[in-house]
Structure 1
């Protein structure tokens, strides 16, 4: 929450009342029996945070699985997330935009535009948000059109050549009946990794986006909406920068790259990611005497074209092949949700509904390998082309009710019945001879297909008790369900064709939501314990011949437990403090070794990947009034986390030590003229860290984050 979002009544300063839709009904944050973290869109704009990846430093319970391409990246909540690149695996963290659920985890990497707020619901939320919410939900709410005409411009530049321009306008097209808004984004960043072969910076991006909403109100009982969005992003993110390698021949072949824990150089041909995210949604709300009927009909398409280099060479040598891909994703989804909600505060408040989604994911991958063939003493080429994909159908009916036993005591019950239909196809043609299992990371030709159906139950039950008018407590049990999966990928083999069983979870949560000092101090606490069975995860397998491959498996039983703190203190009109912390103990309880794995390690009791035990985020905002309308704004934020293991196999090399990032800004604003200018410093202490560490046969690589080193920026915002 932004520091200046306070309520003023008779010179009394209070924290703003935060309204959320965590239960599919608008409720006060302090009354919702769910652990929820809120980030206001205004705060994101002031900090120039423009992607969901940025929230990991704001909300300690959230982490981000950074991969070499955004197609394979995903969000984690309370130590649980999706560790797979297959189109046959759904996310564990559901990303929802204005009520529309995104089907693929890579779609969550979209740029944020015209955001009203982001609600992060922690823990299983399958009852109301669906099967792909076993770890939690990131609920993105964009701004609605306004009746009064308004517009804005937001400009940002950094000293390392990042530029961003955002424009927006809103107002009535037909007063009282039809209103609309539109916002646009243009951004560019050269990158923070130097590529010797290309002689330019990489790990950057170019983005263009537009979002628009229309709202039609023919009368007081009906509201119709149309939302359109389009974002195109072209990135130059490399596979990674080399941290270490024991292979001297390889080190010589990529010179002048020098491997180190802070390496920001590569030496390879160009790599690009071309990403397009677009959608249309139709909403309708009918308001009856005591009920509201809501409908959301949505179409979305996600296209992703990747061109990665796997072994990071400038060219092929007699020792090493040059291997590169072109992967194309075309993901289409249709969804329809219909809900009936009670209005007002009666004896029973409830939401019931039905949901249907159709998801078609088609992928095409071409792999080229240029290598030295000693038998002919010349260079040769291997080539393969694979077409693969999945088709899924999801049907669900759901309902949740709150039974008001008296003014202080409530009972919560909810249930969701889900039917999954999933099928896959895979066809790979290759020049590699059939008697070879694999050469140059290209397997021989194969064709497979399969299908499965499953029925799953999600649910929630609990009690909520108001200890006092400003202290609310709750205890809930949630049952989570994540549907079946197939490990469908370029190098898919016959051993990968069996279906991966559904993942289920049982979660217990105890929460306390409190307000103190005349609502100037908000202190929310949550303690939780969740068990997952048939946990779906990727695991690196070593076969009897010593070959390595990554397989999707039901990894067995895992659990996550801990506590979370979320606090905000409006000391006075000009001083705001916040502190959020999480202690999350995410562990492997009983690991099931994959069949035919000759070197399965004992990982029981070890940490789950992408889950530090401790994280905290602190912020101080200080205002210094200059005149009645003008003031200086000082802001300082610090985020820290303990060490993180990136490999479920517990490779000792893939551990990121603990680190902290300190950011600050100095701004000047004028509330009468509606402008704000700010000077921002990111990573003040110039602390280098890795967003991901991955061990390969060539060495250890790291993903270089945007704030891997200190940089400066200046922003200007003007409202009209």
Structure 2
């Protein structure tokens, strides 16, 4: 129960928030009248890549199409907060995976710890921290209409991407699965009508290379189009293993292929078949950031803990192998203005990892390994498959006599997932002991959904939608151990199994008004839902056998979108407040001297803030893009688990992890046409993130101070001949930072990002 002080604090914050909301609503309304110049409604729209490749010659900004409402629409017309990043721009910026994409999206952050299975995306300060296969992510990843049930599936490489749409806030109506905080909607490029091809390559200091190639075109004009793209990339890494026989670590090797076939048997039918295969081998490595004991410092030598430490002393380097593959078929059938859509998909994800959970490897050298600082080695395998089916209908605008008009999207959805994992931990002190767990999850999710827009005047629209979901979840778990009692990082043997099911409603209500042809504003209420969970992992204990209740969210959002000066300026703003109940979070206990996790319904949390996206093209040569997010994500009422061994549960009012109060992104591009017919393009961008706490339990050593990253590039291009070459500079100010800080007994680990120090690269592309 909250103390009276906490209650008063919460009431005061709510009162202040209501005042801020009222002021902001007034400002948005005023801005709506100020930006009244030209239409933003059903305007013709180009793919998002146009922003990077083909700026209109009249000096206006290109229109961007999004599918955030499950139908194609202009970004400036949809009543949702959406960020869009083009695939072409990501390639030029050497942002080829999800963890680097979030640098351009102030509302999003990325948590990385260990291999891909330990990754999490946060939107508006909310994300799920758990490696359990029995826990859904809070932010859903959708690729070409297919939901990826586990976030690690999408972290290998971004290949043949047209654009990434980040839908901010609960998306429980149309996207449903795993979308209580947001959606990463990834759209690949469609094959071209004319035969085209390309080869591009990039080389960066630090021995990083990337080569892509593809062909696209019509196999039968008007009926059959196809494309195939392949990628190979490798990187030695930016961390040095000083152990004998070591070398560079924290790198990767990736290779993959993606094929797409578009079939148009008649004017009313489109069929899209996609198959992909991506494989990655990596050596993710954390370095010692801080140490608090002399024995530990001695064990690290010759590596020395520090804020910019890029050295480790491992006898066995970390190795993670990922394979992601799948096929999908989308059929669109149009009749009398209606579009029926079917998306059938199957995917598989295999993950093998050999990692260390200590800072000193697994060596038996007496000078390094002691009972206080044991060496550990983890060996894990994961085999996951999913099958999904979605049926959807999108209506035309239906006139309702004098009442106005209505259009809607409705559908049915099913997803089946199956996960099998093994995990072994080898602990070396004076002797060698180990434990092994075999476990798995089966899940089934069923849903029916619909959302409609009622146009009751030319300038007013009402939005309403709902989704019914049924989740079925079951697990089994068996752990064996060489010891009958707990020892460092390993619990005694145990066996359990269980199942649960839940039904829930989510939905959205809203009102949208066009102040003028170029300015629209909206107010929406959304309810998000994340299904029940089991904390199934290596050190699962009998206390973890109870299912966690679903996590729900209620969100209010006020938004404005407008353009001005003959579409040379666009401005989008969103003000939001979201409350989460039964927040699913990891709780840390200390058992046998080692920290173990407990996934619990931690109570109530909330996030509130303001987001701005501005794009301006003051001249035909200069384009400026700016985005910013102010976010206040905090614990409102923490439920301390019974018999908790943690030192303190006093977290009310504390900041949620991976939720910087402010994050901003600024990019400027300047194009210079040369007399020779070439184009010289200059680009620079700056990302700033304020002080960020990486630990829910507010560890003082898990705070990343505020930092800014500067990048720049200069490109020479000849559009007519289809080639371009660019020099790219990353982190020009040479700012070292951490994307995660992990506190352990006696030391703190740092996750080292690729751009932890300054580096340069050369990219080239030839089209034919």
- Fold match by TM threshold 0.5: yes
Is contact 1:103–1:359 with CA below 8 Å preserved after alignment?
yes
Q: Return the offset for 1:364.
A: 0.6
Moved more, 363-372 or 704-713: 363-372
Is contact 1:408–1:465 with CA below 8 Å preserved after alignment?
yes
CA distance in 2, matches of 1:568, 1:549: 46
1:571 alignment partner, SS class? coil
**Which of residues 354, 359, 373 is equivalent to 2:417?**
359
Q: Do residues 471 (structure 1) and 546 (structure 2) align?
A: no
CA distance in 2, matches of 1:388, 1:177: 47
Matches within 5 A, 1:667-706: 667-706=715-754
**Which of residues 111, 125, 128 is equivalent to 2:157?**
111
TM-score, normalized by length of structure 1? 0.96
Residue 267 of structure 1 is matched in structure 2 by: 313
**Which of residues 389, 394, 397 is equivalent to 1:336?**
389
Residue 155 of structure 1 is matched in structure 2 by: 201
**Which of residues 662, 666, 672 is equivalent to 1:618?**
666
Is contact 1:3–1:575 with CA below 8 Å preserved after alignment?
no
CA distance in 2, matches of 1:583, 1:37: 15
CA distance in 1, matches of 2:137, 2:713: 35
Give CA-to-partner distance per residue, 1:228-250, whole Å, 9 cap, x none.
01110000112x10011122112
CA distance in 2, matches of 1:7, 1:235: 38
Q: Do residues 255 (structure 1) and 301 (structure 2) align?
A: yes
Is contact 2:489–2:594 with CA below 8 Å preserved after alignment?
no
Q: Do residues 507 (structure 1) and 565 (structure 2) align?
A: no
**Which of residues 261, 276, 297 is equivalent to 2:323?**
276
**Which of residues 664, 674, 678 is equivalent to 2:712?**
664
Give CA-to-partner distance per residue, 1:432-466, whole Å, 9 cap, x none.
12xx2x11312111100000010011100000000
Matches within 5 A, 1:95-494: 95-197=141-243, 198-238=245-285, 240-268=286-314, 269-314=316-361, 315-316=363-364, 317-319=369-371, 320-344=373-397, 346=399, 347-372=405-430, 380-433=431-484, 436=485, 438-494=486-542
Give CA-to-partner distance per residue, 1:471-491, whole Å, 9 cap, x none.
000000001111000000001
Q: Return the offset for 1:6.
A: 5.5
Q: Return the offset for 1:341.
A: 0.6
User: 1:628/1:518 Cα in 2 relative to 1: closer, same or farther (>3 Å)?
Assistant: farther
Give CA-to-partner distance per residue, 1:369-405, whole Å, 9 cap, x none.
2221xxxxxxx22122211111100000000000000
In structure 2, list runs of 5 or more residues that go unmatched.
1-47, 400-404
Q: Do residues 40 (structure 1) and 67 (structure 2) align?
A: no
Give CA-to-partner distance per residue, 1:44-70, whole Å, 9 cap, x none.
122221011112211100100111211
Is contact 1:182–1:211 with CA below 8 Å preserved after alignment?
yes
Give CA-to-partner distance per residue, 1:496-526, whole Å, 9 cap, x none.
1111110000000000000010111000000
CA distance in 1, matches of 2:374, 2:462: 63
CA distance in 2, matches of 1:628, 1:254: 58
User: 1:345/1:468 Cα in 2 relative to 1: closer, same or farther (>3 Å)?
Assistant: farther
Q: Return the offset for 1:322.
A: 2.1
Q: Return the offset for 1:42.
A: 1.6
2:96 alignment partner, SS class? coil
Residue 639 of structure 2 is matched in structure 1 by: 592
Q: Return the offset for 1:5.
A: 5.0
Is contact 1:399–1:416 with CA below 8 Å preserved after alignment?
yes
CA distance in 1, matches of 2:398, 2:712: 44
CA distance in 2, matches of 1:716, 1:5: 15
| RMSD over equivalenced CA pairs, Å | 1.3
Give CA-to-partner distance per residue, 1:130-164, whole Å, 9 cap, x none.
13101100100001111210001110001111000
Q: Do residues 74 (structure 1) and 127 (structure 2) align?
A: no
CA distance in 2, matches of 1:4, 1:188: 26
Q: Do residues 536 (structure 1) and 584 (structure 2) align?
A: yes
CA distance in 2, matches of 1:546, 1:184: 48
Bigger strand fraction: 1
Q: Return the offset for 1:345.
A: 6.8
Is contact 2:480–2:494 with CA below 8 Å preserved after alignment?
yes
Residue 375 of structure 1 is matched in structure 2 by: none
Moved more, 244-253 or 314-323: 314-323
Residue 16 of structure 2 is matched in structure 1 by: none
2:429 alignment partner, SS class? strand
In structure 1, list runs of 5 or more residues that go unmatched.
373-379
1:250 alignment partner, SS class? helix
User: 1:318/1:638 Cα in 2 relative to 1: closer, same or farther (>3 Å)?
Assistant: closer
Is contact 1:325–1:365 with CA below 8 Å preserved after alignment?
yes
Residue 652 of structure 1 is matched in structure 2 by: 700
Is contact 1:131–1:480 with CA below 8 Å preserved after alignment?
no
CA distance in 1, matches of 2:55, 2:89: 17
CA distance in 2, matches of 1:540, 1:370: 23
Q: Return the offset for 1:542.
A: 4.2
